[in-house]
């Protein structure tokens, strides 16, 4: 299990840890090993989230490698153990995700910086993510997704968890004043949504060698994203029927993926989502103008905004 954690943590974009670290420095905190440890605890929390997410979605790959539950299923098969390999894989992955969650809390506490304000942010972040994950599951099974409801999922599953709360955690670790938290909220909310919108586009149109997941995986998993909701708003009856027939089909082939991509493109949904990403990124950057945050941190936050919404990442 520890080998699996070590190998899993070798990849990833480190965005949450980065936002926490620079949120700390921007709030007047020191650049030392303590804040590196505290920020790195978010990588263990992220590992918990995506290990469990892959189990829930039935995803076969992550970061260009077999998903953790598949890794353990393969171990079961190769070892000729008794019972169902897939059940063993799911069980092991759930336990490993739980272990990462426990270790993330231990790591934050062990940093020596976890004051009551920081602990409060960490607690809120965990609850918001779990709520966002449930809303995501609910969207997939209800079949009644709207742009508003998909944006609500993006807010709780991604915007707050990826950008806002890591920044707030860094600020809390530094004992920053309220105006720094206000700046981070104004910057983080639109940027976090833009990040999720970009992820939604890449989940359908991204290069597997870059995203680490097969092209169209979000379509096979039936993700009710803003992109899909926007397409359904303007789709013809025939296009709506095509989406209903193919979205969420785990056996969807390349022809089915291509057909769904055509609907997303021809309805103008892709263009509208790109406009939303651009608008929200601009809002985030505007929130940094004249902000009570150190100049070095401001510059890095501008760079992180570009990294989080890049067309290929």
pLDDT of res. 248: 87
Please state, in angstroms and rounded to a whole number, the distance separating the CA atoms of residues 171 and 169: 5
* pLDDT given for residue 290 in this prediction: 92
Q: Which regions of the chain does DSSP assign to beta strands (E)?
A: 61-62, 65-66
Residues 197-206 have pLDDT tens digits of 999 999 899 8
Write down the domain spans for the chain: 2-308
Superfamily of domain 2-308: Farnesyl Diphosphate Synthase (1.10.600.10)
Place of tokens 């007047």: 28
Q: Which tokens go with 102?
A: 């426990």
Q: Which one, of 121, 234, 248, lies nearest residue 172 by Cα?
A: 121
Name the E strands within 2-120.
61-62, 65-66
pLDDT for 127: 94
Residues of the chain with pLDDT under 50: 313
Counted residue by residue, the chain has a size of 313
């Amino acid at each position: 299990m520890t080998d699996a954690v070590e190998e899993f943590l070798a990849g990833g974009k480190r965005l949450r840890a980065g936002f926490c670290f620079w949120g700390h420095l921007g709030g007047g905190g020191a650049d030392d090993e303590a804040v590196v440890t505290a920020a790195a605890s978010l990588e263990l929390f992220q590992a918990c989230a995506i290990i469990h997410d892959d189990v829930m979605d039935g995803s076969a790959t992550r970061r260009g490698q077999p998903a953790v539950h598949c890794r353990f299923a393969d171990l079961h098969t190769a070892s000729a153990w008794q019972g169902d390999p897939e059940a063993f894989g799911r069980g092991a992955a759930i336990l490993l995700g739980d272990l990462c969650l426990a270790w993330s809390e231990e790591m934050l506490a062990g940093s020596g910086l976890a004051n009551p304000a920081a602990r409060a942010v960490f607690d809120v972040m965990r609850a918001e993510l779990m709520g966002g994950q449930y809303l995501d599951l609910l969207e997939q099974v209800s079949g009644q997704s709207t742009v508003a409801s998909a944006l609500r999922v993006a807010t709780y599953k991604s915007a707050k968890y990826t950008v806002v709360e890591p920044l707030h955690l860094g600020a809390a670790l530094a004992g920053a004043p309220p105006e720094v938290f206000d700046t981070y909220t104004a910057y983080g909310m639109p940027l976090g949504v833009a990040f999720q919108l970009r992820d939604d586009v890449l989940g359908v149109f991204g290069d597997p060698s870059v995203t680490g997941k097969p092209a169209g995986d979000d379509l096979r998993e039936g993700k009710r994203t803003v992109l899909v909701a926007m397409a359904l708003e303007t789709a013809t009856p025939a296009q709506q029927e095509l989406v209903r027939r193919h979205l969420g089909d785990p056996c969807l082939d390349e022809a089915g993926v291509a057909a769904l991509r055509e609907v997303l493109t021809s309805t103008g949904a892709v263009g509208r989502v790109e406009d939303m990403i651009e608008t929200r990124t601009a809002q985030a950057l505007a929130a940094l103008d004249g902000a009570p945050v150190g100049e070095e941190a401001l510059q890095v936050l501008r760079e992180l905004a570009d990294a989080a919404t890049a067309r290929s990442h």
